[in-house]
Structure 1
């Protein structure tokens, strides 16, 4: 009798140890796989089990490790708008996911302006979209890095206005299916999307993590919120403003799903201070604007490491015009270059260009002075798509507006030379606006500007020998300088002056 009981116990133990064959979360019916590069496929099963993967004429074999995890890489795939089937099997189970396309896959992430639903200028695209699919990640948080997340590939276009505009216009260039993985949450800081191990490279993030670890009250509140549904608006806002926790739940489980790159529309949360790490309110305790560029670059490099892809492209959506109310710093109006404004955040965002495989789209002529959620989302997506087409699809197109080449002080005036400036003109046929000049006194005055080919001549009757230029360096500048394609000139400054506290 004892032997029978022992046998039953062993049998039950063996059954409980058996793992169900599973694919990782991003692999569901209706998926889009990335073309032209190796495609990782991964999942779990019984430890030591052999696993077979079949797709598009390829067959790959692997074996689960001691923890039951397995992974393979399919060879590069050709774009295909015809539905295909992915088969995965082990000695006991067989999985099939169907209606798979192959094309261009992009992760779209950030905060509320990425999350924002279809605006009037974007809404018509949803009716015209074909072979644009989306995987929308459920919004939640986790204290530790998760292997799974909630989401499902859909044949519908993404709910985000920016993501839809981007996907639609990119498809015009790619001539292939587009897959958008949408993982975003309003009010989130950059630090919310950063893995914990970045404490080794970003000092202020280390401080934020240490403070979070010591805040047992906040941890308990998060635990209680996660136990209930639905969340109140207050609960929702509290969760999305936390440090690191969005990365754990909403980004880490996606890695290393093959994609061309990541579109990042975020920064508003980090604009609430110039120098960062303010004490109040708690959710503004982050990089601030001046540290954001270095933090962003460290994050880009870390995410590429997570995806095992050094050429993973990052598209940064520059923040558009907005007249933010400031507690500190000069208050000289939303067009003045000395006012503490989003101009400094845009300069930080442009630091992404210090890294390879990055692009920053220019939205300086867009936005709403009084609304942090402007409705002009169509051109944001269009400009991101142009950069993606040029920089990742090698299309020979004009993808950005004029950019600063160099400046020449010439006595009583300054010459500003531009690249990407063929057909340099103004959008309203008036004189160029948005230019300010200064000498060593740091007194900034508006400049009289005129166009000569791809050069702008600047002068002011109040300055004998101007030395420095700031262009569109303000919260909501009035700008009209564009190239022949109608793309706006990028903001810049040539001085070395730093903002005062």
Structure 2
């Protein structure tokens, strides 16, 4: 058998890549994928089974595995298998059976080609036949390998050969995935629509919505709606067509008919209402089912709340169609809600309740991704920090090149060469522990580092969505761009740039029907790392600086809003389970700013007045007044004189102001509030409807010396058998 190298999202090393093979990745439901057909997976930890339907000639496939752990039972989390220090997991193919349309069955052979986890240390071995594969953890301390996925090929030959769709070999570089027919993709022989256009979809109300798709060049296309609107277009030389269809006021039970020269597609159960795009890192994607039990909602049967969730995708060039074959609109019910972003869900449900109309959310989240990955490269190519980020990734790929490198040697060398890079990017987010033997010197089509690469999430996840009709957008990202203070400070420039580009692009490509300043909201970072003990944390608190970056964008960029989350988070977990307050605060921002409702948002620092030995602080959005989170003194304020030495301050609420002083500062000039990585356990300041005040500073002193050594935040060790608990906070009275 000829040995080749294949780079795929979950692969370490691919040994056999015959055109007849069906490739399947399993181990975590969200990463489940196959090169043809639609795979599903049972939830048995020790005996998982994968069923693939929708193969050619009416065939389906069933593969039975066994999973055993040396040193204990197989441990599986909601995101995949988990492997503790010194343990090993062995995956074995027990059987693989093809079922034909006539009822006959046939056994087929298969072999494992890879196993991968997150960025913790591990090594794998496989038997000679590839029937089993073992991953052994070499982690130290409290580290674990998480999110483990295994990939295997089924060598389908003989009478079973027609089961899989043949791929076009491309020896010079990894082959671009070929979209396979799957239920969510609405298409006929000559007419195809993006995955956003399917049953249960929701359209933005009272505007001209952009419809697009593909047909034969020159073919006339007509879209007719049950509410009476109709529009036509002709496919261009590349087969793409585009038109505008007007929508009325909100409603449900509608349908759409898309008709070409020969073929017709009908879309049923269409709703019209408010549509919001929700994008960002893993905390945006953190599912309802993984939150605290107290945040589980017993009332999730909401047929007029519609959810579109995309898989995590990245690609080296802009895509016109999502590669994710399973994306589709779903009405909200116990199954769809459990896997939906908790922040997005609580935001959408609150809008749905308060406005009394259908609401749709488009969830686009990818763990561990920097903001650079969510913007086109052309937009940031002149940014020195983006250039340095890209150069570091390119250099890491270049150092992988080696003639005749064996898989195990390449893995060891790859881990060694990426140590410096990983030290800069590992802030606890997901990154696969994988290697690309004989990779090109520049990551033109990266797999392992692709979700770190500039533009890659924009290319694969955002570009295919433009210009679908939306009212606004929610953004929850920034952890990955807050490794150090200079990086966190620069984030204010990048976020403003991203907002401007998204708005301009959606506006222009929608023919001006999506507002050029559509509402854009973002989540200020929560608390993380051990609780605050010093009055002010300096270079050790890049998250405090990132919070300021977001507040500056909220102040300076029109029609933006910020959900303050300083009273959520966890001292060790980067993915806190208290997402409900964030979603509800985003809803309050939207209800006030976008929909004109009487809702309060978080107070922001407005101005200071120095009065002798006191500083008086004023705020916006105070509402009916200010209050402390709990009885006792406000102990989160720090005060300094011209010497820039910070001291804990005495702080008192007087009306709608806070008066700050210290016996140690005779001539105060500046105040900082909650200026730390994790000030959540102190007595925080709120308005009387339960919205927390944003952390702030009144000074403009430099936050870092550009010539000094950079201090990076360290991921705190997680105590053994730690149980995460939610923190007490004032109830939101709206």
Alignment counterpart, residue 494 of structure 2, candidates 281, 295, 299: 295
- Look up the match of 2:564: 362
- Look up the match of 2:313: 140
3-state SS in 2 of match to 1:124 = coil
Matches within 5 A, 1:398-409: 398=600, 400-409=601-610
Q: Larger Rg: 1 or 2?
A: 2
How far has the Cα of 1:167 moved from its partner? 1.2
How far has the Cα of 1:191 moved from its partner? 1.0
- Look up the match of 1:32: 202
- Look up the match of 2:261: 91
> In 2, distance between residues paired with 1:335 and 1:447?
8
2:316 is the counterpart of 1:155: no
- Look up the match of 1:67: 238
> In 2, distance between residues paired with 1:486 and 1:415?
22
Structure 1 residues 323-357: Cα deviation after superposition (integer angstroms, max 9, x where no partner)? 279xxxxxx84663435211001011122221112
Give the conservation status (yes or no) of the 8 Å contact 1:337–1:470: no
3-state SS in 2 of match to 1:373 = coil
> In 1, distance between residues paired with 2:303 and 2:632?
41
> In 1, distance between residues paired with 2:433 and 2:263?
44
How far has the Cα of 1:165 moved from its partner? 1.3
Give the conservation status (yes or no) of the 8 Å contact 2:390–2:453: no
3-state SS in 2 of match to 1:476 = coil
Alignment counterpart, residue 317 of structure 1, candidates 503, 507, 523: 523
Structure 1 residues 234-255: Cα deviation after superposition (integer angstroms, max 9, x where no partner)? 3586443333211111111011
2:359 is the counterpart of 1:178: yes
Structure 1 residues 214-272: Cα deviation after superposition (integer angstroms, max 9, x where no partner)? 76559999xx9xxxxxx994358644333321111111101111111111111111111
Alignment counterpart, residue 553 of structure 2, candidates 352, 365, 375: 352
2:369 is the counterpart of 1:188: yes
> In 2, distance between residues paired with 1:26 and 1:381?
24
> In 2, distance between residues paired with 1:52 and 1:458?
66
Alignment counterpart, residue 228 of structure 2, candidates 57, 65, 68: 57
Alignment counterpart, residue 634 of structure 2, candidates 432, 444, 451: 432
Number of equivalenced pairs? 456
For structure 1, the 5+ residue unaligned runs are 1-17, 225-230, 276-287, 326-331
2:296 is the counterpart of 1:123: yes
- Look up the match of 2:506: 307
Greater relative contact order, per chain length (Cα 8 Å cut-off, separation 6+): 1
Residues 26 and 438 of structure 1: CA distance in aligned 2, closer, same or farther (over 3 Å): same
3-state SS in 2 of match to 1:97 = strand
- Look up the match of 2:583: 381
Between 378-387 and 165-174, the greater mean CA deviation after superposition = 165-174
Structure 1 residues 409-454: Cα deviation after superposition (integer angstroms, max 9, x where no partner)? 1111111112222221112132223111111100011110111100
> In 1, distance between residues paired with 2:539 and 2:638?
13
- Look up the match of 2:620: 419
Residues 219 and 317 of structure 1: CA distance in aligned 2, closer, same or farther (over 3 Å): farther
How far has the Cα of 1:52 moved from its partner? 0.7
> In 2, distance between residues paired with 1:475 and 1:214?
32
Please tell me the root mean square deviation across aligned C-alpha atoms, in Å. 2.6
Residues 219 and 127 of structure 1: CA distance in aligned 2, closer, same or farther (over 3 Å): farther
How far has the Cα of 1:200 moved from its partner? 4.7
Between 231-240 and 149-158, the greater mean CA deviation after superposition = 231-240
Give the conservation status (yes or no) of the 8 Å contact 2:535–2:647: no
Residues 124 and 244 of structure 1: CA distance in aligned 2, closer, same or farther (over 3 Å): same
- Look up the match of 1:79: 250
Alignment counterpart, residue 433 of structure 2, candidates 234, 239, 251: 234
> In 1, distance between residues paired with 2:401 and 2:199?
37
Residues 130 and 335 of structure 1: CA distance in aligned 2, closer, same or farther (over 3 Å): farther
Structure 1 residue runs of 4 or more that deviate by more than 6 Å after TM superposition:
218-221
- Look up the match of 1:227: none
How far has the Cα of 1:38 moved from its partner? 2.1
Structure 1 residues 162-184: Cα deviation after superposition (integer angstroms, max 9, x where no partner)? 11111111212221111111111
Give the conservation status (yes or no) of the 8 Å contact 1:297–1:351: no
> In 1, distance between residues paired with 2:497 and 2:530?
27
How far has the Cα of 1:61 moved from its partner? 1.5
3-state SS in 2 of match to 1:360 = strand
> In 1, distance between residues paired with 2:192 and 2:309?
20
> In 2, distance between residues paired with 1:334 and 1:245?
39
Residues 426 and 98 of structure 1: CA distance in aligned 2, closer, same or farther (over 3 Å): same
Give the conservation status (yes or no) of the 8 Å contact 1:472–1:479: no
2:662 is the counterpart of 1:466: no
> In 1, distance between residues paired with 2:696 and 2:576?
23
> In 1, distance between residues paired with 2:237 and 2:282?
41
Bigger share in strand: 2
- Look up the match of 2:118: none
> In 1, distance between residues paired with 2:222 and 2:230?
7
3-state SS in 2 of match to 1:47 = coil
Give the conservation status (yes or no) of the 8 Å contact 2:221–2:259: yes
Give the conservation status (yes or no) of the 8 Å contact 1:125–1:168: no
3-state SS in 1 of match to 2:485 = coil
> In 2, distance between residues paired with 1:427 and 1:128?
34
How far has the Cα of 1:96 moved from its partner? 1.1
> In 2, distance between residues paired with 1:126 and 1:215?
49
How far has the Cα of 1:129 moved from its partner? 3.6
Structure 1 residues 15-57: Cα deviation after superposition (integer angstroms, max 9, x where no partner)? xxx9821122211111111113321111111222221111121
> In 2, distance between residues paired with 1:334 and 1:184?
35
